[in-house]
């Protein structure tokens, strides 16, 4: 599928003007070292602010919809032909459900859940109907032997209904996918990292793929316009590698494809040190690599081979499972803890002037700014929105009630509502205030990989807190240790890991040595 060029939205006069701005921006970067996103790149990034649906999520939803639909069709036809009571209905669900699941499994085995297959429904009709026949026969036999037998006409109606449903539904999905691809709803947004001839070859190969879901959003290269053209294969060079980090966050980029030879090891390593803090897939294009490795060493975008460098953490259905975990356990925690929260709110209101809730801006997922809720624990006139000065032991800014709330972590309970709003997760790296620092240095100045913590949503509790790293970060060692635990959590995430941290949290809160 040939993707529309970003440059097609601009006429040539606009493009020349934007290129001039880019050249001026390059000169400013050389002179000052700044990485502020240039106006042209910011304009392009704003065009991609809307969320997209990943193909993996779409296919998963499609499988689930087919399973539910086939189960419903079987139950409906059987109830119309041979009505039965509600108690016996569960028996039919137990028989028809596995048949519907078998259909989905067979459809998966014959590759009808791939995007190219879904786009070209006519070419997969035979495979789809064969899978339906192979799953229907054992299901019908089980129904005949273990439940109220249907008439021949009943079995025929059930088979025909399922076959017609699969035929029409697949045609509708094919139309919808083609429409979503045109409208940008279903795509993976990619940036080419590196310019010149390697980037041009990569773009041409990607555009030649008839069914790939990649949308190229632009090209970034550190080299000046005299060595790296400002337009490559119809796509504008949007800026330098330093600007790429901000662009990727604003445009919600899914993939960074490095168009450099694998032999340029030093340059690739320098790039990765800048880029790995982003919650994106990072791939090294192998299209021009003369070295050949075993097939399983590569992943592919269409037919273009790639080396996988980094994968986006907690993606697709893992993110859905984590979100369900957050909602279910947050609602459960609120249901259990609401008396404590009410008592804390009353105590804060009655013992000092000011609002009950303290709101503070902190870094969230992908470095976005969120407003975190806490019970106010400081005197209003002494509250520190910036957190430049961390709370220390015996801090006179903290109220007597606030001191108890902080030691017990009850002041954090309003963050359960941040979780329900989708700004926080129950478990994850703790969010730090935007201006938080130790001494005169911000945390990112102490730990180079600090912002890599933000590749996932921050959490109300986390792996670092479970391991005793609560409270004030008053030394470089503490910042490095907390960051190391946070990165370890991200690399080894699982729902079981979240459950472990969640249920260990109340036990670890009994240790209040570092909470004040």
User: What would the two tokens of residue 419 be?
Assistant: 């979780």
Cα 360 to Cα 474: distance, rounded to the nearest angstrom:
20
Burial (CB < 10 A; 0-12, 13-18, 19+), residue 313, is middle
Paired strand residues for 284: 258, 307
Cα–Cα separations (whole angstroms), residue 120 to 173, 206, 211, 241: 10, 20, 10, 39
Residue carrying the six token digits 């029409």: 168
Paired strand residues for 188: 214
Non-local CB neighbours of 282 within 8 Å, separated by 6+ positions: 255, 256, 258, 272, 275, 276, 309, 310
Cα 184 to Cα 213: distance, rounded to the nearest angstrom:
9
Residue carrying the six token digits 């550190």: 222
The reported pLDDT for the residue numbered 460 is 93
The helix or strand, by DSSP H or E, that contains position 104, with its residue range, turns out to be helix 86-109
CA dihedral 233, 238, 243, 247 (to 10 degrees): -90
| Residue 219 near residue 202 (C-beta atoms within 8 A) | no
Cα 75 to Cα 115: distance, rounded to the nearest angstrom:
30
Cα 461 to Cα 470: distance, rounded to the nearest angstrom:
10
Residue 186, phi-psi category: left (phi > 0), alpha (psi -120 to 50), beta (remainder): beta
| Residue 1 near residue 212 (C-beta atoms within 8 A) | yes
| Residue 137 near residue 156 (C-beta atoms within 8 A) | no
Whole-prediction pTM: 0.74
Non-local CB neighbours of 337 within 8 Å, separated by 6+ positions: 413, 416
User: What would the two tokens of residue 177 be?
Assistant: 């996918």
| Residue 237 near residue 195 (C-beta atoms within 8 A) | yes
Non-local CB neighbours of 327 within 8 Å, separated by 6+ positions: 419, 420
| Residue 289 near residue 261 (C-beta atoms within 8 A) | yes
Q: Which phi and psi angles does 82 have, rounded to 5°?
A: -135, 80
The reported pLDDT for the residue numbered 265 is 74
47 closest CA partner among 159, 157, 187 = 187
Cβ neighbour number for residue 324 with a 10 Å cutoff: 11
The reported pLDDT for the residue numbered 289 is 58
DSSP code at position 410: G
The reported pLDDT for the residue numbered 3 is 44
DSSP code at position 494: -
Cα 371 to Cα 347: distance, rounded to the nearest angstrom:
23
The CATH code for residues 6-49+187-310 is: 3.40.50.20
Q: Could you tell me the strand order of the sheet in which 281-285 lies?
A: 231-232, 235-239, 214-220, 188-193, 255-258, 281-285, 304-310, 299-301
User: What would the two tokens of residue 457 be?
Assistant: 């949503």
The reported pLDDT for the residue numbered 10 is 43
The reported pLDDT for the residue numbered 9 is 41
Q: What distance, in Å, lies between the first and last C-alpha atoms of the chain?
A: 58
pLDDT in tens, the chain (516 residues): 444 444 444 455 555 555 555 554 544 444 333 367 888 888 888 877 776 677 777 888 889 999 999 999 999 998 888 887 777 788 888 889 999 999 999 998 988 888 778 888 888 899 999 999 999 999 999 888 887 778 888 889 999 999 999 999 999 998 888 777 666 667 788 899 887 788 888 888 888 876 667 888 888 888 776 667 788 888 888 888 888 888 888 888 888 998 877 667 778 888 888 888 888 889 888 765 555 555 555 677 767 888 888 888 888 788 889 999 999 999 999 999 999 999 999 999 999 898 999 998 898 998 888 999 999 988 888 877 766 677 777 778 888 998 899 888 899 999 999 999 999 999 999 988 887 777 677 777 788 788 888 899 999 999 998 988 876 666 778 888 888 999 999 999 999 999 999 999 988 877 666 655
CA dihedral 67, 72, 73, 79 (to 10 degrees): 150
Cα 166 to Cα 180: distance, rounded to the nearest angstrom:
20
Cα 455 to Cα 309: distance, rounded to the nearest angstrom:
15
Non-local CB neighbours of 259 within 8 Å, separated by 6+ positions: 192, 193, 194, 195, 198, 199, 202, 285
Please state the domain extents for the chain: 6-49+187-310, 55-183, 316-508
How many helical (H) and strand (E) elements, i.e. helices and strands, does the chain have?
A: 17, 14
Helix, strand, or coil here: 438? strand
Residue 145, phi-psi category: left (phi > 0), alpha (psi -120 to 50), beta (remainder): alpha
The reported pLDDT for the residue numbered 144 is 85
Q: Give the angle subtended at the CA of 251 by the CAs of 191 and 62, to the nearest 5°.
A: 90
Cβ neighbour number for residue 513 with a 10 Å cutoff: 10
Give DSSP secondary structure letters for 407-453. HHTGGGTTHHHHHHTTSSEEESSPP-BTT-EETTEEHHHH-TTGGGG
Cα 416 to Cα 218: distance, rounded to the nearest angstrom:
39
Task: Kindly give the pairing relationship between strand 255-258 and strand 281-285.
Answer: parallel
């Amino acid at each position: 599928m040939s993707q529309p060029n970003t440059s097609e939205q601009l006429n040539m006069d606009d493009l020349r003007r934007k290129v001039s701005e880019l050249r001026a921006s390059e000169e400013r970067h050389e002179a000052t070292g700044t990485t502020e996103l240039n106006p042209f790149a910011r304009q392009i990034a704003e065009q991609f602010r809307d969320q997209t649906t990943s193909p993996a999520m779409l296919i998963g939803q499609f499988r689930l919809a087919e399973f539910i639909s086939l189960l419903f069709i079987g139950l409906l036809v059987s109830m119309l032909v041979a009505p039965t009571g509600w108690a016996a209905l569960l028996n039919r669900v137990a028989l028809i459900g596995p048949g519907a699941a078998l259909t989905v499994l067979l459809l998966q085995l014959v590759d009808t859940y791939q995007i190219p297959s879904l786009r070209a429904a006519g070419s997969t009709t035979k495979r789809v109907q064969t899978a339906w026949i192979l799953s229907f026969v054992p299901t019908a036999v089980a129904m005949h032997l273990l439940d109220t037998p249907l008439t021949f006409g009943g079995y025929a109606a059930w088979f025909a209904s399922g076959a017609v449903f699969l035929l029409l539904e697949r045609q509708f999905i094919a139309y919808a996918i083609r429409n979503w691809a045109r409208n940008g709803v279903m795509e993976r947004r990619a940036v080419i990292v590196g310019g010149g001839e390697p980037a041009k070859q990569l773009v041409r190969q990607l555009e030649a793929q008839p069914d790939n879901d990649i949308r190229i959003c632009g090209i970034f290269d550190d080299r000046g316009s005299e060595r790296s053209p400002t337009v490559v294969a119809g796509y504008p060079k949007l800026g330098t590698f330093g600007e790429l980090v901000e662009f990727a966050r604003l445009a919600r980029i899914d993939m960074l494809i490095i168009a450099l030879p694998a032999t340029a090891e030093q340059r690739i390593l320098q790039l990765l040190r800048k880029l790995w803090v982003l919650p994106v897939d990072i791939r090294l294009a192998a299209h021009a690599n003369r070295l050949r490795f075993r097939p399983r060493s590569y992943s592919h975008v269409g037919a273009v081979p790639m080396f996988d460098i980094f994968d986006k953490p907690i993606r697709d259905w893992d993110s859905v499972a984590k979100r369900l975990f957050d909602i279910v356990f947050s609602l459960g925690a609120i249901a259990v803890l609401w008396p404590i929260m009410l008592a804390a709110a009353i105590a804060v209101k009655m013992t000092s002037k000011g609002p009950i809730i303290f709101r503070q801006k902190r870094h969230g997922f992908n470095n976005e700014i969120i407003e975190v809720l806490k019970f106010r624990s400081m005197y209003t006139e002494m509250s520190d929105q910036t957190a430049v000065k961390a709370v220390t032991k015996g801090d006179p800014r903290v109220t007597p009630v606030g001191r108890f709330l902080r030691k017990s972590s009850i002041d954090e309970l309003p963050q359960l509502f941040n979780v329900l709003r989708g700004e926080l997760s129950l478990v994850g790296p703790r969010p730090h205030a935007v201006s938080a620092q130790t001494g005169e240095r911000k945390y990112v100045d102490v730990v180079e990989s600090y912002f890599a913590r933000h590749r996932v949503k921050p959490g109300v509790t986390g792996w670092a807190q479970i391991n005793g790293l609560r409270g004030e970060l008053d030394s470089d060692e503490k910042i490095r240790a907390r960051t190391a635990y946070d990165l370890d959590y991200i690399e080894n995430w699982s729902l079981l890991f979240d459950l472990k941290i969640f249920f260990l949290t109340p036990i670890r809160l009994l240790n209040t040595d570092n909470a004040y």
